Chains A and B, each alone.
Chain A
C-alpha cells in the first residue's frame, strides 16, 4: 500500500508537471492573444517525433536541445504566417485555424512516421534504476523527466517574476488590452510568446516520448485534457493552471492504480447499475478530468483560481 502511494504520488506529480509545461504555454497564449491554441498538443507531438528522429540519427541529448528549438521555430512561423493573417476575422477564426492545423499535423505525422507507435527509447545513460522501494523499482529516466519539468517551472517562474518581459506578460494576463499601450511591439511579443509556448510543449514531448507512447494520436488524446486543465484552473491564471495540472495528474494516476469496482465495494447489489457497477476505478480514469470539468463549471464557473469571465 505504501509503495502504491509513493509511486503513484511520484508519477502523479510527474504527469502533472508535464501537463503544466503545456498548460502554462497554452494559458499564456490564450490570456495574451485571446487564442485558444487547439494545436498546442500537436506541438507536443511534433516535439516527441523530432526527438525520436534526432535520437535515432545522432543521439538523445542533441535531440533534447534541438527538437524543442525546432518546434519553437515552427510555432513562431505558424503565428507569423498563419494566425496573424486570420486575426482580422476574430477569435473564432483563429481557433478554427489552429483546429485545422492540429488536424493537418496529425495527418502529416502519420504520413512521415506511420500510424503505429515508433520505438523512441530511453537513452542508455539514463536507463537504470533510480531507487527501489520494497519490491518495486523506479526508473532513473522518470526522475530525469521530473527534474526537467521542475527546472522548466523554476525557469518560467523566474522569467515572470524577475524580468521586464515577465512584467509585461503579467500585465497582459490581467489586462490584455493594455499591452499595446505600454508601447511594445505587440506582434513581436505575440510571436515570441507563441514560439516559446510551442517550444515548451515540444520539450515536454521530447522527454515524455520515450516514457509514454509516441504515436500519431498522442496529440488528440492529450489536447482535450489540456483544455480541461486551463478551464478548471481558471482562464488566465497561471497559478490555477499549476494547481489544476497537479490535481488532474494525481487524480488520474491514482485512479489508474485502483483496481476496484463498485461491485467490489457494495457487493452484488451493484448490479442495479448494470455495466457501471462492474467498471473498475482504473477504467473510468480517462473520464475523471471531464467529470472534474463539469463539477467545476457547475459549482465555480470561473475555475478554481480564475476571475476572468471569458
Chain B
C-alpha cells in the first residue's frame, strides 16, 4: 500500500468516524462534548503548526482563538441585525480572516525572534491583548462577554442550527476541512521548510530561506486556523468572553498538544480529545482537577516527552513485526504497581484537598474511592503512603525488565525491517 493510499484511507476513516459518532453517543451532553472536541482538535493542530512543525513555543495562542471568536460573534449579531442572508456555516470564514489579520499584526513583531525570546514575547502580547479587552468594554463586553443567537441567522438548506446535533455536524465538517488542510500543508515545500527551520535554522538560511519569513508565514497560517477554531467555539457557546483569549486558554492548548505528542501530526488530535474529555468529566469528579492537569503535564514533560503519539510511534515497528506479544508479560506486570502509584497519589491529593479546603465547612468525614473515611485521622494517610511506597518499590524493581524487553523487541523489529 503506497503512502498516499494509506493517507487517503486514514482520512476516509476519520470522516466516517466524525459522521457516525452521534449515532454511538446520541445524548445531549455527549454531543456538546464532541462538538467541543472538534473545536479543540482544530485549535490544538493549529498550535502544533508552531510548536511541533516549526519549533516555535507560544504562550499566547489563545489570542487568535479569542479575537477570532469575538469577530465571529460580532459578525453573527451584525448579520442578524442587518438581515443579511449569510448563514451560520460561513461564519468560521470570518474567524479565519480575523485570525489571519491578527496573526499578521502580532506575528510581524513576535517572529522577529525565535526560541525562548519568541516564547516570552508571545506571553507579553497575550497579556497585552487581555488587558486591552478589559479596557475596551464596548467591543469585548467586559466580564460577561458578548453573546449571540445562532438560530437567528439565515437557515442553511433548512437547517437553523438550533439543535446541538446540527451544530455538531457543522463543526465536524469544518474540523475535517481544517485537519485535511493542515495535513496537506505539512506536505508542501513550505511545510518541509518549517521542519527544516525547526531542526536547524542556521542551515536553512544557507540553502536560501529566510527563517524569519518562514516563521512569519507559519505564524499567520497557524493564527488563521486558530481563528476558525475560535469561531467554531463562539458558535457552540453562543458567547465569547475574555476567558477565550486568556493565558489559561493558551496553557490549555499547549497541554493538549504536548500530552498528545507534538512530534506527530496526529498527536494533538489525541491530546485534544483526551483533555476535553478529562476537562469535562474530571471537574465533576474532583475539585482538585486543575492540580491533576498540572501534574499530568509535568509527568509528560519529565518522563514521556513524545506524548501519547510518541509512545504509539515507538511501538509501531514492534507491533508491525508481530513482536508486541513478547512485551505483554512485562507490561502487564507493570500495570499493578502503576495502578498502585496512581491510586496512592490520587488518594493523598484527595485527602489533602478535603482536609485543607472542605473540612472546615463540611467536616473531615469524606468518601474516598467510595469508602467512607476521615481526613483528620491518621489511618487513611498511613494506608495511602504505605500503598505508594510499596507500589513504588515494586515498580522500581520490575521497571528495568520491561525496559529491557522493549529494547530487545525494538532492536529485533528494526533489524528485521527492510
Q: Identify the A interface with B (CB < 8 A).
A: 30, 34, 36, 82, 85-86, 89, 91-93, 95-97, 99-101, 103-104, 107-108, 111-112, 114, 220, 224, 227-228, 230-231, 235, 274-276, 279, 283-284, 286-287, 289-291, 293-294, 297-298, 301, 309-310
Contacts and interface: CB of A to CB of B under 8 A. Distances in A.
B291 interface: yes
B393 interface: no
A290 B301 contact: no
Given A107-B290, A287-B128, A91 B301 contact: no
A114 B361 CA distance: 13
5 contacts: A89-B301, A96-B57, A108-B291, A227-B120, A293-B128
Contacts of B293: 103
A100 B294 contact: yes
Nearest to B297: A100
A274 B112 CA distance: 32
B119 A297 contact: no
Contacts of B353: 111
B116 interface: yes
Interface of B: 55, 57, 59, 109-110, 112-117, 119-121, 123-128, 131-132, 135-139, 247, 251, 254, 258, 288, 290-291, 293-295, 297-298, 301-302, 305, 352-353, 356-357
The listed residue with most B CB atoms (<10 A of its CB), out of A30, A99, A309, A310, is A99
Given A36-B120, A93-B305, A104-B295, A290 B131 contact: yes
Nearest to B291: A107
Contacts of B57: 92, 95-96
Contacts of B352: 111
A103 B357 CA distance: 18
B138 A274 contact: yes
Given A104-B294, A220-B247, A86 B112 contact: no
A290 B124 contact: yes
Contact of A104 (B258, B298, B305): B298
B139 A275 contact: yes
Contacts of B115: 91, 310
A294 B109 contact: yes
A86 B302 contact: yes
Contacts of A108: 291
Given A103-B294, A107-B294, A290-B131, A96 B136 contact: no
A309 to B, nearest CB: 8
Q: Is chain A's binding surface mostly helix, strand, loop or mixed?
A: helix
Nearest to B112: A301
A198 B302 CA distance: 21
A30 to B, nearest CB: 8
The listed residue with most B CB atoms (<10 A of its CB), out of A231, A274, A290, is A290
A107 B291 CA distance: 6
Nearest to B290: A107
A211 B301 CA distance: 36
Contacts of A104: 291, 294-295, 298
A220 B59 CA distance: 13
A36 B116 contact: yes
A294 B125 contact: yes
Contacts of B120: 36, 227-228, 230-231
B116 A310 contact: yes
A290 B128 contact: yes
B348 to A, nearest CB: 12
A111 B139 CA distance: 36
A107 B131 CA distance: 23
B136 A297 contact: no
The 5 closest A-B pairs by CB, nearest first: A290-B128, A104-B294, A100-B298, A107-B291, A103-B294
Contacts of B113: 297, 301, 309-310
Contacts of A82: 298, 302
A97 B132 contact: no
A56 to B, nearest CB: 16
B45 to A, nearest CB: 19
A111 B302 contact: no
A230 B254 CA distance: 23
Contacts of A93: 301, 305
A286 B134 CA distance: 11
